[in-house]
Structure 1
Amino acid sequence: MRSGFATLLLLWLCAAPLAMAEERLHYPAAPVAGQATGQLVIHGALDLVHIRPLLERFHRQHPGIELTYRNLGTLPLYERFLATPDEVDVLISSAMPWQYRLANDGHAQPLGSAAAAAWPDWARWRQELFAFTFEPVVMVVRRELIERFGRPQSHADLLALLQRHGTALAGRVVTYDPSRSGAGYTYAIEESRLSPRYWDLVAAFGQTRAQLVDTTGEMLAGLAEGRYWLGYNLLGSYARRVVAQDPALEMVIPDDYALVTQRLALMPRQAPHPRSARRFLDFLIGLEGQRVIAEQTALGAVHPELEGQGTADRLRATHGEALRPLALGPGLLATLDDLKRQALLARWRREFSRDSAAGD
């Protein structure tokens, strides 16, 4: 029988709309006199469209380093690492609890650079695990909903909307199924801690017969097609790109509170090419790499010296204390506790079905 821990790991297959088959980028070495040579192997749960600008910039800086990137789902990435911890130099994942567990269990080695020491305390654990993106969890709404009912700007607005117009919105709301989605489950844990009205919101989702899916990608596809009018708790970095290309959609960062998830990077203790790994991590959390994130991706740069569009600084200036980054610390391990998971999911199902027969 599958253990509770293994079952929960399986849920992280649904944490983001990533391809399950391995995708790969390869940059052959082109040695230049006086520059570093070597190899670098990176495994990441990060789509090629987001990671490619970073890899290309790094390779232009270090053309003598042969670079291989494998894009894996979060579960394959984690399991492959545990099976062969000496084949990869840098590990990147959005599955924050599992990255933290790897570091906490002694699988990461410290980065002893000035950049690592200066990295914000809230975005690193010791000098072994580094949060290098800043990705709010958002709502996406269609124009039809805004024209008919107005734009929900907060969770309170959303709750009122669902309670008042449950019949009109029946089947047109979509969110994560926390029993199948690792992301949805993690967000449910955090929201139940943050808001005393969270369980009322779950009941309101049930009232509107909200559709429950596994990924942000499924939500965005349904919103773009018009099957859904409102999506809740989408990963903002993925939503932003779709919304920017579709005038029928708007992205809303709630102004009362908005969870923020982050990609975590570590250098394994058995990394086969540690010099190259250190160079890449220094680049990733350095000004140049972070500037690439800000200007060429939707991931959100963390570097405290960067301002303007595409940065955590800009998001904080706009949304202030409403932004609630998932804390990088021991609390993440609670996500891996099977008894706590069973208790939360039991209540979620109970609240979701509580008012399912209610109407307008």
Structure 2
Amino acid sequence: MRLPFALLLCLALPARGDVVVFPAPEGGGRELVVYSSLDSPLARPLIEAFQRRVPDVAVRYEDLLTGEIAERVTAETDAGRATADLVFSSAMDVTVKLANDGYARPVQVPGAQDWPGWAGWRDMVFALTFEPAVIVYHKPSFPDGPPDTRAALIDWLATAPKGAVGTYDIARSAVGYLFLMRDQEHFADLWPLVQAMGRAGVQVFPTSREVIEGVNAGRLQLGYNVLGSYAADQTLRLPDLGLVLPRDYVVVVSRVALVPRAAEAPDLGEAFLEFLMSREGQTVLAERLRLPAVSLEVAGKDSAAAMQEALGARLRPVPVSPGLLAYLDAASRARVLAEWRKALESHE
């Protein structure tokens, strides 16, 4: 059972470091519970916009790691307890696995029939953002522009200063691992590229933020496969930071959402999902959170519609489908990580 609403009705401050309660603007006894990997300060405009639609609903927002979200939903459901009313996660593969394993419920969301075919699965899991993998670079280090294809990147790495390139540590970053797996499907010379990074003394990091900070400061000259939604926002603030979409192909990942089977208030979870998929919700994601929207109704240079018009077949969005489950296979992951370590360490 959840705690009584009266005990949670407080100022919208963290309750235990990872929980924020947004009281109902007009009071009321209902509460929506969200498990999300999106930082709560970033989520605030989204929650507040939703509450303008339903001012009698409080929102309990639990900011968790992607693995913790899946573990909580699974454990609470298996124990016969209520879990979140909505899951909003950047781990596409783990979230699809929740649905595939029976922990999600089908929903009927207005407009879902117009959602791109790759962006939903069985009326249970929906992609809500459109976030490309990009190359970030230190502008003073590239007066003539950076390498903008993977082949050009291999050529640049042959003469690059030692330690000048950075990327995700795929053993610690779920999105970094997903980007690498998609590269493996689209780029025949992936492992020669990884070996070239190893010879160049690549530095690896668990987050985009650390790669971007290193590039902006000049400690790195270039960052590969950085999450574009975060990088684009930082280029507006950091004059020495540049960004380029690869000219050969662009991998696109998404944050995805589902309504758990054991939700205590599934109607509220479905209402929030409907808002997130609405033109208003997608616009808030794009304009306030700077997360490119999936909806083709949302304009703007960083929207899916604009990227599709400009880049066409270069875009390779990751489909929301059971195909993602292959990335979670333990034996396959162990082989990929072993090959990754071998490619990087053989040149140390």
Distance 1:113-1:189 versus aligned 2 partners, 3 A rule: closer
State yes or no: 1:266 paired with 2:262: no
Residue 297 (structure 2) aligns with = 305
* Cα RMSD after superposing both structures: 1.9
Q: TM-score, normalised by structure 1?
A: 0.86
Q: How much does 1:22 deviate? A: 4.3
Other-structure match for 1:80: 72
- Provide the C-alpha distance between the structure 2 equivalents of 1:311 and 1:240, rounded to a whole number of angstroms: 12
Q: What is the CA-CA distance between 1:234 and the residue it aligns to? A: 1.0
5+ residue gaps, structure 1, are: 1-20
Cα deviation per residue 1:81-134 (whole Å; 9 max; x = unaligned)? 222242310001111111000001111111113323332221100110010000
Query: Which residue of 2 is the match for residue 155 of structure 1?
Result: 150
User: Equivalents in 1 of 2:255, 2:17: separation in Å?
Assistant: 19
User: For residues 37 and 119 of structure 1, do their structure 2 counterparts lie closer, same or farther at Cα, with a shift above 3 Å needed?
Assistant: farther
Contact 1:90 1:265 in 2 (8 A): yes
Distance of aligned partners of 1:50 and 1:323 in 2 relative to their CA distance in 1, 3 Å threshold = farther
The yes-or-no answer on 1:23 pairing with 2:24 is no
Q: Does 1:294 align with 2:283?
A: no
The farther-off stretch of 110-119 and 337-346 is 110-119
**Structure 1 residue 134 and structure 2 residue 126: aligned?**
no
Q: CA deviation at 1:333?
A: 0.6
Once the two structures are superposed, what CA deviation does each residue of 1:18-69 show, in whole Å capped at 9, x if it has no partner?
Answer: xxx843332212448xxx9621011100123432221110111111011111
Match of 2:118 in 1: 122
- Could you tell me whether the CA contact under 8 Å between 1:88 and 1:271 is conserved in 2? yes
> Judging changes above 3 Å, is the alpha-carbon distance between structure 1 residues 181 and 30 closer, same or farther for their aligned structure 2 residues?
closer
3-state SS, counterpart of residue 111 of structure 2: helix
> Which residue of the other structure, out of 335, 340, 348, is the alignment partner of 1:343?
335
Work out the CA distance in 1 between the residues paired with 2:87 and 2:17: 15
- Map residues 306-321 of structure 1 onto 2, 5 A cutoff: 306-321=298-313
Per-residue deviation, 1:353: 4.2
Partner of 1:99: 95
Distance in 2 of aligned mates of 1:186 and 1:328: 13
Deviates further, 103-112 or 22-31: 22-31
CA distance in structure 2 between the partners assigned to 1:162 and 1:290 by the alignment: 39
> What is the distance in 1 between the residues matched to 2:273 and 2:113?
12
Question: In the alignment, is the contact (CA less than 8 A) between 1:50 and 1:298 conserved in 2?
Answer: no
Report if aligned partners of 2:277, 2:295 keep a CA contact under 8 Å in 1.
yes
Please give the TM-score of this superposition, normalised by the length of structure 2: 0.89
Number of aligned positions between the proteins = 329
Tell me, in whole angstroms, the C-alpha distance in 1 between the residues paired with 2:164 and 2:323. Answer: 34
The unaligned stretches of length 5 or more in structure 2 are 1-15
Whether the 8 Å CA contact 1:54–1:292 is kept in 2: the answer is yes
Q: Percent identity?
A: 38
Q: Which residue of 2 aligns with 1:254?
A: 246
Secondary structure in 2 matching 1:237: helix
Partner Cα distance (1:37, 1:152) in 2:
56
Q: Separation in 2 of the partners of 1:347 and 1:267?
A: 37
* Cα pair distance change 1:192/1:30, threshold 3 Å: closer
Aligned to 2:225, the other structure's residue is in SS state: strand
Aligned counterpart for 2:59 among listed residues 67, 73, 97: 67
Alpha-carbon separation, structure 2, partners of 1:71 and 1:209: 35
Distance in 2, Cα, partners of 1:340 & 1:44: 27
Q: Does 1:216 align with 2:205?
A: no
Cα distance in 1, alignment partners of residues 25 and 176 from structure 2:
43
**C-alpha contact (below 8 Å) 1:22/1:72 kept by paired residues:** no
Query: What is the rounded CA distance, in whole Å, between the counterparts of 2:176 and 2:155 in structure 1?
Result: 22
Q: Contact 2:73/2:260 (CA < 8 Å) preserved in 1?
A: no
Distance in 1 between the 2:61 and 2:302 partners?
24
Q: CA deviation at 1:178?
A: 2.0
